Amino acid sequence: MQVSANLGFLYTDLPLPARIRAAASDGFDAVECHFPYAHDPAEIRSALEATGLSMLALNTRPGDQGAGEFGLAALPGRSDDARAAVAQAVSYGAAIGAGAVHVMAGRSGAAAGAEAAFRDTLAHACDLAAPHGMTILIEPINTRDVPGYHLTSLEQAAGTIAALGRDNLKIMFDCYHLQILQGDLTRRFAEHLPLIGHVQIAAVPDRGEPDAGELCYAGLLRGFREAGYRGAVGAEYRPRGGATRAGLGWLPPLRAALDAP
């Protein structure tokens, strides 16, 4: 099971190309990121090729964060903005060889028409991503951290995927968010396995290194493997001490647990 460094939260004292090199130096198998758009994609691709790491996924831009936006896809009346964000992400992802784009739903606040807007944007995203062999990811996000977020359960995500019937539309199973939202992760994961495209981890409740809190990731991820998951696990946590390298003591024991028969 590959372990990926999420460069949106890790090595943030470095420019993005240097973060890629740092992740490789520290033993990560792959990387993923949030919003790389300020960087020339050729520079990112060069760093990936130099390290041999793959970029597993990136996010669509969130919109106007100063105004509280956290994604655009499920916002009624914002179809043009949402499609532009998708086009940007798919184009950038294709340029750097990314495997997936996470289309951020946004804070719809359960507005009328939000799910229809979300599905329309996702269908468009799947169409754009398919020629590049890319997956579109959707992620349930907890409303304690992001009040009013549109997508808040595995079942809702599964219903959206079933309605669209697109093979390249999958769920981002973020253990941090889903433990807060719903819990019972081992059973829920197994029940939704065919729809899961990526897994992310962090401690609950502090979102720090995945070595403390409510979840024992060595056991949980072994359960995911036993259920049949063969994809990567993304470390999307906020280092408790600020410096990523000082907190990487969790990585060798977790890798040993995952490699154990």
Q: Are strands 233-235 and 3-6 parallel, antiparallel or unpaired?
A: parallel
Q: Please pick, among 32, 115, 139, 209, the residue that the annotation labels catalytic.
A: 139
Q: Which amino acid is residue 242, in one-letter code?
A: G
58 beta partners:
101
CA atoms within 13 A on the CB side of 186: 12
pLDDT at 1: 87
pLDDT at 189: 98
pLDDT at 117: 98
pLDDT at 227: 96
In SS3 terms, the chain reads as: CCEEEECCCCCCCCCHHHHHHHHHHCCCCEEECCCCCCCCHHHHHHHHHHHCCCECEEECCCCCHHHCCCECCCCCCCHHHHHHHHHHHHHHHHHHCCCEEECCECCCCCCCCHHHHHHHHHHHHHHHHHHHCCEEEECCCCCCCCCCCCCCCHHHHHHHHHHHCCCCEEEEEEHHHHHHHCCCHHHHHHHHHHHEEEEEECCECCCCCCCCECCCHHHHHHHHHHHCCCCCEEECCCCCCCCCHHHHHHHHHHHHHHHCC
pTM value surpassing 0.85: yes
pLDDT at 252: 95
Each residue of 148-173: pLDDT tens digit? Answer: 999 999 999 999 999 999 999 999 99
Each residue of 49-98: pLDDT tens digit? Answer: 999 999 999 999 999 999 999 999 999 999 999 999 999 999 999 999 99
Query: Is it true that domain 3-259 has CATH number 3.20.20.150?
Result: yes
Between CA 80 and CA 73 the distance in angstroms is: 10
Between CA 16 and CA 129 the distance in angstroms is: 24
Q: Are strands 169-174 and 196-201 parallel, antiparallel or unpaired?
A: parallel
pLDDT at 261: 74
Q: Please pick, among 32, 115, 209, 236, the residue that the annotation labels catalytic.
A: 236
Between CA 208 and CA 102 the distance in angstroms is: 22
pLDDT at 119: 98
Between CA 193 and CA 105 the distance in angstroms is: 21
Between CA 200 and CA 243 the distance in angstroms is: 20
236 is catalytic: yes
Give the other-Cβ count within 10 Å of 62's Cβ.
Answer: 17
Residue stretches of the chain with pLDDT short of 70: none
What is the spatial order of strands in the sheet that 169-174 belongs to? 30-32, 3-6, 233-235, 196-201, 169-174, 135-138, 100-102, 57-59
